[in-house]
Chains A and B, each alone.
Chain A
């Protein structure tokens, strides 16, 4: 492996944290449906997706550990809302089924494309982890794309809810591609994919699917990362509660 400059290392740490934080929170939101999804099969499907996302978050944090020695559990369970680098997209409450599916679809498409691009990373451990995650991610994308179609072309009620969800989620989804301050050194070295290039693949892909489903993405400005909503602190209180309460536990 080639030696990384400190700027390149920082860029990798930043992106890995961003990836992990998005997946940790989305995994938590998806898991909130366990026992509440409209039908049993979907309850199981979403629990599976949540479990995959959690697994990927662990993978990114393990990778970060090799760069700075940080403790993955410490990062997941003992950081406050201000320290989380997730997009607000992933912290928004689960909403109705249409909201959950539209958000997950837009996120899955972004993630699958990012991982596909990261397979070419010059940082071999990242390229390997991306290849592994992609194998699982594409099942999510297939599943949620089918749900968006089913809901948008379903009943007037499901269509209304799907339109409302797209309206609400779109500006946050665009924010996934906003440049991260400090990432440029990693992009220039070929360590990390360029988010603008990911967006150039994502936008036509999701627009084509949404159009087939009779939906039009709204014109909106991206909500950049770093903007958190009041929902994050409540989410973390629940997500981190047990770990913080039993901080001395070494095994579960």
Chain B
């Protein structure tokens, strides 16, 4: 059970959006692993998505800024890297928001193996819903995304990598 103070922090964290994908918040993206309150100190356990992601610094600052009005003496953003963040941690509502925003949500990532084969799970076009799509580039405009094109509606779109 969350205490009232913990719930207040969680509520504040919902207002922190992913700087690169502003339609989703960090809680539904699975980046918050826990909240701890100890006297006047609030600790937010935060897990990074991609190690080199430049948005991480911004997110940490945004967390502090969002929690600040709650009046804690100190706010600590603690980095937790185990287990590593996975796109499997993204909630269903967040997946729907990604799709509506034009980013195909990630497929199931499962256990990490050093060798990935070329895209197994079909990716559906976020605009027309067709599964007749192909990957055009295995990297995209952010570390978390790849580029696709829909053969049905001919629109290019971005899809999230499964990690």
Which positions in A face B, CB cutoff 8 Å?
41-42, 44-45, 47-49, 51-56, 58-59, 112-113, 115-116, 124, 128-129, 131-139, 141-143, 146
Nearest-neighbour CB distance to chain A for B54, whole angstroms, equals: 8
Cβ contact of A52, chosen from B51, B82, B85, B86, cutoff 8 A: B51
Binds A, one of B26-34, B65-73, B110-118: B110-118
Q: What are the 8 closest A-B residue pairs judged by CB atoms, nearest first? A: A55-B52, A55-B51, A41-B137, A45-B139, A128-B82, A48-B139, A51-B52, A112-B114
What are the residues of chain A within 8 A of B84 when measuring CB–CB? 128, 131-132, 135
What are the residues of chain B within 8 A of A134 when measuring CB–CB? 112, 114
Q: Is B13 an interface residue (CB 8 A)?
A: no
Taking CB atoms and an 8 Å cut-off, the chain B residues in 1-55 that contact chain A are 48, 50-54
B51:A136 contact, CB within 8 angstroms: yes
- Distance of A124 Cα from B80 Cα, bound (Å): 13
A141:B51 contact, CB within 8 angstroms: no
Nearest-neighbour CB distance to chain B for A12, whole angstroms, equals: 17
Which residue of chain B has the shortest Cβ distance to A54 in the bound complex? B52
What are the residues of chain A within 8 A of B108 when measuring CB–CB? none
Binds A, one of B89-97, B99-107, B121-129, B140-148: B140-148
A-B contact pairs, 27 of them (CB 8 A): A41-B139, A42-B137, A44-B137, A45-B137, A45-B138, A45-B139, A51-B53, A52-B51, A54-B52, A58-B51, A59-B51, A115-B114, A131-B82, A131-B112, A132-B51, A132-B81, A132-B85, A133-B51, A134-B114, A135-B84, A136-B50, A136-B52, A136-B143, A137-B114, A138-B114, A139-B139, A139-B161
What are the residues of chain A within 8 A of B53 when measuring CB–CB? 51, 55
What are the residues of chain B within 8 A of A146 when measuring CB–CB? 118
Q: Is B77 an interface residue (CB 8 A)?
A: no
Interface SS of B by simple majority: loop
A52:B143 contact, CB within 8 angstroms: yes
What are the residues of chain A within 8 A of B115 when measuring CB–CB? 112, 138, 141-142
What are the residues of chain B within 8 A of A41 when measuring CB–CB? 136-137, 139, 147
Q: Is B75 an interface residue (CB 8 A)?
A: no
Count of B residues near A, CB < 8 Å? 29
Nearest-neighbour CB distance to chain B for A191, whole angstroms, equals: 17
Which residue of chain B has the shortest Cβ distance to A116 in the bound complex? B114
- Distance of A173 Cα from B83 Cα, bound (Å): 31
Known: A58-B52, A112-B114. 4 other contacts (CB 8 A): A45-B138, A135-B112, A136-B143, A139-B138
- Distance of A41 Cα from B161 Cα, bound (Å): 16
What are the residues of chain B within 8 A of A44 when measuring CB–CB? 137, 139-141
A138:B118 contact, CB within 8 angstroms: no
Which residue of chain B has the shortest Cβ distance to A128 in the bound complex? B82
Which residue of chain B has the shortest Cβ distance to A131 in the bound complex? B84
- Distance of A131 Cα from B86 Cα, bound (Å): 11
What are the residues of chain A within 8 A of B54 when measuring CB–CB? 51
Nearest-neighbour CB distance to chain A for B139, whole angstroms, equals: 4
A52:B52 contact, CB within 8 angstroms: yes
A56:B51 contact, CB within 8 angstroms: yes
- Distance of A133 Cα from B86 Cα, bound (Å): 12
With known contacts A58-B51, A128-B81, A138–B113 Cβ distance under 8 A: yes
Which residue of chain A has the shortest Cβ distance to B119 in the bound complex? A142
